[in-house]
Structure 1
Amino acid sequence: MNSPTLPDPIAGAAADTVQRGTAMDRALPPPRWRRTPMLAALATAAVFGLALLLAWQRQPQLQTVRAAQLAPVRAGLFRDELPLRARAEPIRSVQLDAVEAGLVESVQARDGDRVEVGAPLYRLRSPEQEQLLMQRGAEVAQQMANVSAQRSAQATSLAQNRRELARLQAEQQQAEADYGRLAPLAAAGFVSAAALEQARRQQALATQLLEQARQDQRIEADIHAQSLAEMARAVDGLQHGLRLLQEARARLQQTAPIAGQLSGFTLQVGASVRPGDRLGRIDDPAGGMQLAAEVDEYYLPRLRAGQLATSADGPLSLVQTLPQVQGGKVRVLLRWSGPPPALQPGQAVELRLQLSRPAPALLLPDGPGVQTRLYVLHGRELRRRAVRLGRRAAGQVEVLGGLAAGEQVLLSQPPSDAERLALP
């Protein structure tokens, strides 16, 4: 009897493999970079770096500050001082300005000479002034001749008026005498009433003519007196103008008003001079020296007489502020507290003017970037911050709030007004 046949497991597996199509697959060796640990690590680092680069590119880029100038905030004494560059000048000095126009005829002094009071400096020649002087003199002479003729005519008129008045007085007296003689005769009946009336009318007429002549002579005398007074005033005015021209002629010769050293005097013969031209000055070093400096008009409200200043030659004090502003500057005068040093006029002196007393404060060096919104260092970034700043003096800025000692601040001009900036 035949036994049943058992299936072959190997044959069954082979058949199953043939049916699923896996008989053609085979295992491949791993890649070379997986077989080398260093290559695997480098590949992983490259992938990670690429991911970081993509993430960095997605973030906004910060503008870089090139050549950034940083400085720390520090605690110290705020010295409210103003650095100035002043020039020495004599306290007693007189400017030589031309007061008359003309051509330089002669020069009697040179620049740098020591002159005394009244010493001749230069002389001008003015043909126009000479002509005007002759014309004004002729006008004065003509007016005086007119006054003389008027006075002569007045004297003649007065003599004639006196004679006329004497005649009228005589006629009036004769008329009174005739009336006085006829009145008693008429009363006695020896003279008619008509003759008496005629004598009375003659007396009244003579009296009226006499009074009218006196009144007319008074009016004429007043008119003559007023005319002479006006002519006299005209003569006085012409004579005053003549004196002024003579004084102007005398000023053509310029003399030294004070004793001292002539400075800046470069006048040449033949040069044309107009009124107001600056010709030089006379300095009197014996009267002492002072310093003159120009200060920005911003500090004008804070300038006061008596403020102290320091220089290499000793302490000074502000004695005067000239309030006239020229070119945005005001002029101040300072003098030494003790004997002045031996300085030449025009010599420059460096000094510091103290506007107020030193006081403790947080300080920051001044710069274009130090504003009410400035940049503070955080790591490798500069972040914008609002702060409160106070006074500025001598290259220092007083910090009132918003900063702490030790923080680094950007002093230079930032490239933009972004909230964050990067350092290179």
Structure 2
Amino acid sequence: MLRAVTQTLPQSQPPSGAAMDRLLPGTARGARRTWALALLAALLLGGGAWALRLRWPALPVVQNPQLGTVRAGEFRDELQLRARAEPLRLVQLDAQEAGRVEAVLVQDGAVVQAGQLLYRLHSREQEQLLMQRAAEVAQQQANAALQRSAWVSSLGQSRRELAQLRHQAEDAALQLQRQRALAAEGFVSTAALEQAERQADLSAQLLEQAREDQAAEQQTRRASLAELDRAVGGLQQGLALLQRARAQWSAPAPISGRLSGFALQPGQSLRPGDRLGRIDDLEGGLQLAAEVDEFYLPRLSTGLGAESESGPLVLVQTLPQVQGGKARALFRFSGATPPLRPGQTVELRLQLSAPQPALLLPDGPGVHSPLYVLKGRELHRRSVQLGRRAAGLVEVLAGLQAGEQVLLSATPHTDERLSLP
């Protein structure tokens, strides 16, 4: 009897071909050669790049570049100015005398009237000088009075002496006449007659000499008194000046208006010429004062118009003095003066010429010929022709086209090409 033998066969799987793979001789060596060639190529490329870098160095990089675009527009030839309101009429207050501030009678910003006292000074030196000058005047006046008294006494004495000498001369003349009559009749000797003649001549000479001496003395006294009077007059004038100076120790306001910049303090020492402040005439109107760069001075002329939020203005004066590269220009309102206060600032636009179409470029420290124009990631140096500058814009005359970008900021480099960071 036959037995059936049951055998479990494995499930069939698709052929993978793994039994056919085997390592051929020389394959590992070829892989290593390929990697070596790749490494060598990389080294050659790196070395070439390094050689190129050494031959052509990198472009200078502009740090924090500011770029502006050239555009077509309307060039408005105007200046943006900040003006300050000033009164048309004002008076500067200066110290006239030296001294110490004893009292301040008004405060800064107060409205004062003409003649109102502003402050009082005190000067011990001036007081002493005033007392000394007054004593000198009194002493010289007393001397003049004594001289006049002596002159009057001398005049009286001289008149008495002249009267006595005149009387003696008249007696001598009468005695001579009698002696001559007696001598003619033979009653008087010739010697007596000669004696009478000599006496008459002597009396006449004494009288004439006294008159001359007294005239000379009176002339001398008169000249002396005139000199003394002039000296007293000079001392009196000096005393009057000191008294007027003392009156100026209480300084009155010269005009009515608002006090500005007045910062005196009690105890403060003043010298002649010290600036104390000013008084603005509130009824005299206002003007605007602006500082203009000296570059624009040749283009400023009286009558140019300006615009502001407070109303239209006109340029009335350009002061020739230039300080710190700036000159002062004065404007007045064409119509009614708006309610502004002295010291208030106003923004205005001064129109130098009529608007014209032009290529415009934002102004900046790097905007000059030549300048740098953007191409890709590089800046190329280019010579251009620039025109007027106004309101932060520059007029482009030649060398640029609309849409190009230009380096506005300054750079220390002068290479033909620069790179952006």
Q: TM-score, normalised by structure 1?
A: 0.75
- Assess, with a 3 A threshold, how the Cα gap between structure 1 residues 200 and 290 changes in structure 2: closer, same or farther: same
Q: Which residue of 1 aligns with 2:307?
A: 310
Q: 1:80-104 CA deviation, whole Å, 9 max, x = no partner?
A: 4333222223333334444334444
Q: 1:148-181 CA deviation, whole Å, 9 max, x = no partner?
A: 1111112222222333333444455555556667
Q: CA deviation at 1:322?
A: 4.1
The amino acid across from 1:283 in the alignment is: D
- Assess, with a 3 A threshold, how the Cα gap between structure 1 residues 162 and 300 changes in structure 2: closer, same or farther: farther
2:232 is aligned, of 232, 235, 242, to 235
- Assess, with a 3 A threshold, how the Cα gap between structure 1 residues 31 and 127 changes in structure 2: closer, same or farther: same
Q: Which residue of 2 aligns with 1:153?
A: 150
Distance 1:76 1:211 in 2: 112
- Assess, with a 3 A threshold, how the Cα gap between structure 1 residues 245 and 71 changes in structure 2: closer, same or farther: same
1:218-229 aligned within 5 A: 218-229=215-226
Q: CA deviation at 1:312?
A: 1.5
Aligned length: 396
Q: Which residue of 2 aligns with 1:335?
A: 332
- Assess, with a 3 A threshold, how the Cα gap between structure 1 residues 223 and 70 changes in structure 2: closer, same or farther: same
Secondary structure of the equivalent of 1:222?
helix
- Assess, with a 3 A threshold, how the Cα gap between structure 1 residues 345 and 32 changes in structure 2: closer, same or farther: same
Q: CA deviation at 1:223?
A: 2.3
Does residue 65 in structure 1 map to residue 62 in structure 2? yes
Q: CA deviation at 1:64?
A: 1.9
Q: CA deviation at 1:343?
A: 1.9
Q: Which residue of 2 aligns with 1:409?
A: 406
Distance 1:111 1:282 in 2: 10
Q: Which residue of 1 aligns with 2:370?
A: 373
**Structure 2 portions without partners, runs of 5+:** 1-25
Q: Which residue of 2 aligns with 1:12?
A: none
2:344 is aligned, of 342, 347, 351, to 347
- Assess, with a 3 A threshold, how the Cα gap between structure 1 residues 129 and 185 changes in structure 2: closer, same or farther: same
Q: Which residue of 2 aligns with 1:320?
A: 317
The amino acid across from 1:145 in the alignment is: A
Q: Which residue of 2 aligns with 1:116?
A: 113
- Assess, with a 3 A threshold, how the Cα gap between structure 1 residues 313 and 194 changes in structure 2: closer, same or farther: same
Q: Which residue of 2 aligns with 1:17?
A: none
Q: Which residue of 2 aligns with 1:13?
A: none
1:94 is aligned, of 79, 91, 96, to 91
Q: TM-score, normalised by structure 2?
A: 0.75
Distance 2:384 2:165 in 1: 110
Secondary structure of the equivalent of 1:318?
strand
Distance 1:255 1:66 in 2: 63
Percent identical residues:
63
The amino acid across from 1:381 in the alignment is: E
Q: 1:11-63 CA deviation, whole Å, 9 max, x = no partner?
A: xxxxxxxxxxxxxxxxx889569999xx9999989966864553343124321
The amino acid across from 1:222 in the alignment is: Q
Distance 2:232 2:187 in 1: 67
2:248 is aligned, of 244, 248, 251, to 251
Distance 1:327 1:232 in 2: 57
